Structure 1
């Protein structure tokens, strides 16, 4: 693909980003200030339909609450009443999901607010840590820092396996479920550790992050292709996801601490391989799941908005990338954004396959746009 020079691509890219960012602030954020907000529970609904009606509430997840806490924390000073909403979400996280008996946070509550899935999963705890770091940074609420400290303590004491990795899921009372470590929760834990280090000096968290990345390289990176598998090497029925490769790449490349780690070098080398098999050249769509058999056979060719956003964000950290960043921002706008919000998924033929809008997706758009804004600065 020919690269436009920075001088020719940049004005068009800046103008397009202005449009996309305005769409986020004018269309997407108001969905979660209005129809997506259950004022009685002080929680976001799990999803809205195409007409902006909440889907019937089956459950509320702590992770979804935490992602929205991050969203509104990131909008403090940008959007009216973002601080009020962030404070409400922080209180709801503690009120609805904290396990007073065993510590930690439940996975979900039911539509009436009673504990539903009471297991303790790393993915949820990582997002609580991530959100509290951002909220504390913006609010300086001492309770936010104490919750951040509690999350760090419980992750280190309950989930850590002693080799730099962490169990994916445990029983409510912390008994093992024999899940072992899984890539996705560990990535979000790395993200949460980075968010913590961005707001304070924390040698213990820095050590845990470096040990995590060392262990990820040793136990998850395929030695031949350099891609990060979803399960540890040697696990039955393993695969890799281009969206997660790009998400990890951004975290590692954007961190001075991690930039020259073995894990970073592996994903940097594998970037072109992931693009070759994971991104459709015709339209820039990112495939969901691939088998690692040398020919990149797709296991699931669903095109998801979050993977699209992660690829775009990763590209902002590649050299001489203006033309491809522009192309991918155009693809995101044309294929996934619309006047009423966004399309969550397209199928392998590019047809819209999900019209609901989950409360968790604005987190991916917000982090993507944050990366784009930094790139354009």
Structure 2
């Protein structure tokens, strides 16, 4: 595992991070918003709130793990853009989208986007101890709790307009439905709150996290099938028979991280974490070493998406560290070999393709855009570095 970790660290520092650092916008702030499939940088593309937060988290975490001062410089550049351009000083919260100059373009507020701001700002605080960054993270945390949390059904709501009036959840719904509650938002609120707790542990935050873990176990996780529900109505009724393999394996290690950070001792929670990993390993892994995307009803989507492979490697590493089952070690190595051969873009100045089609062709979708940043594959690398070094 040590040799694999060293290979992954080299990939992070020589390929992934340099690709994104080339996108620094010295004139308008942040990073340029799009790199198309042909690797052409669109310097006038819109800049996403989620994307900027994900970049900020990546470069903050990269500095914390490697101590390379170049990463801290980029993190500070991104922090200033998020603080000055993406944060709504009048109505609070992070915009969904600004234009290339940083002017508000889509002023919707989404709990998912707010969560990533908390995640990123708390990570930036961890490397700088900049009180302003922590204060902003806490302000958005309390905003989520005040505006975005339904105490009646213990659910985080989804989408709002600029002034925080609820609106239909267009941004995180699919399959012809509009979901009141999503698993995706809940796992990323959990992720954000866990990181905020690492930066600034408080009793209020601890209670929120404990409730979130319980909600995942009681409402989102299906103890019979070992899958997580994806879309729900206001009463936590599942809206569609859907399995999202990447989200499930991601959730397994994010839940485990929250459990570990809080020091919770609960055999049922521990079993959930490991059962999810075994379930995805048995149900959705392919002979070529990859993990396919999802299943809706009886229809399998066999697209191999970049972030799904990245999160699977972290999820299986987490499961291996718990169980020492060599099966997980084999799964990780096969996933990495598949990713290197098929997902990593070997073109000069390339990064990772968005996905590979079932027939093996790379999907002709932008390499960088509001939904594709340095976060998933960067985090996979950083998790490997930390976990293998510290085991």
TM-score scaled by length of structure 2: 0.85
Q: Which runs of 5+ in 1 are unaligned?
A: 1-9
Please tell me whether residue 361 in structure 1 is matched to residue 351 in structure 2: no
Paired residue for 2:237? 234
What is the alpha-carbon distance in structure 2 between the residues aligned to residue 367 and residue 175 of structure 1?
33
Displacement after TM superposition at 1:299 (Å): 4.0
Q: Among 336, 343, 346, which residue is 2:343 paired with?
A: 336
Paired residue for 1:54? 41
What is the alpha-carbon distance in structure 2 between the residues aligned to residue 48 and residue 58 of structure 1?
9
SS in 1 for 2:294: strand
Q: CA RMSD in A?
A: 2.2
| Runs of 4+ residues over 4 Å off in structure 1 | 261-264
Q: How does 1:121-200 map to 2 (within 5 A)?
A: 121-162=110-151, 163-179=153-169, 180-200=180-200
What is the alpha-carbon distance in structure 2 between the residues aligned to residue 57 and residue 284 of structure 1?
38
Residues 86-134 of structure 1, C-alpha deviation per residue, up to 9 Å, x if partnerless?
1121111121111122111211112343211111101110000000111
What is the alpha-carbon distance in structure 2 between the residues aligned to residue 261 and residue 241 of structure 1?
25
The alpha-carbon distance between structure 1 residues 42 and 56, as it changes in their structure 2 partners (threshold 3 A), is: closer
TM-score scaled by length of structure 1: 0.88
Paired residue for 2:330? 323
CA contact (8 A) 1:285 1:331 kept: yes
Q: Among 56, 60, 63, which residue is 1:73 paired with?
A: 60
Please tell me whether residue 268 in structure 1 is matched to residue 274 in structure 2: yes
What is the alpha-carbon distance in structure 2 between the residues aligned to residue 39 and residue 264 of structure 1?
46
Greater relative contact order, per chain length (Cα 8 Å cut-off, separation 6+): 2
Displacement after TM superposition at 1:199 (Å): 2.0
What is the alpha-carbon distance in structure 2 between the residues aligned to residue 266 and residue 20 of structure 1?
28
The alpha-carbon distance between structure 1 residues 223 and 324, as it changes in their structure 2 partners (threshold 3 A), is: closer
What is the alpha-carbon distance in structure 2 between the residues aligned to residue 201 and residue 362 of structure 1?
27
CA contact (8 A) 2:303 2:356 kept: yes
Is the deviation greater in 298-307 or in 51-60?
51-60
SS in 2 for 1:240: strand
What is the alpha-carbon distance in structure 2 between the residues aligned to residue 57 and residue 22 of structure 1?
31
Displacement after TM superposition at 1:244 (Å): 0.6
Paired residue for 2:303? 302
Q: Among 10, 13, 16, which residue is 1:28 paired with?
A: 16
What is the alpha-carbon distance in structure 2 between the residues aligned to residue 374 and residue 81 of structure 1?
19
How many residues align? The count is 359
Displacement after TM superposition at 1:323 (Å): 2.7
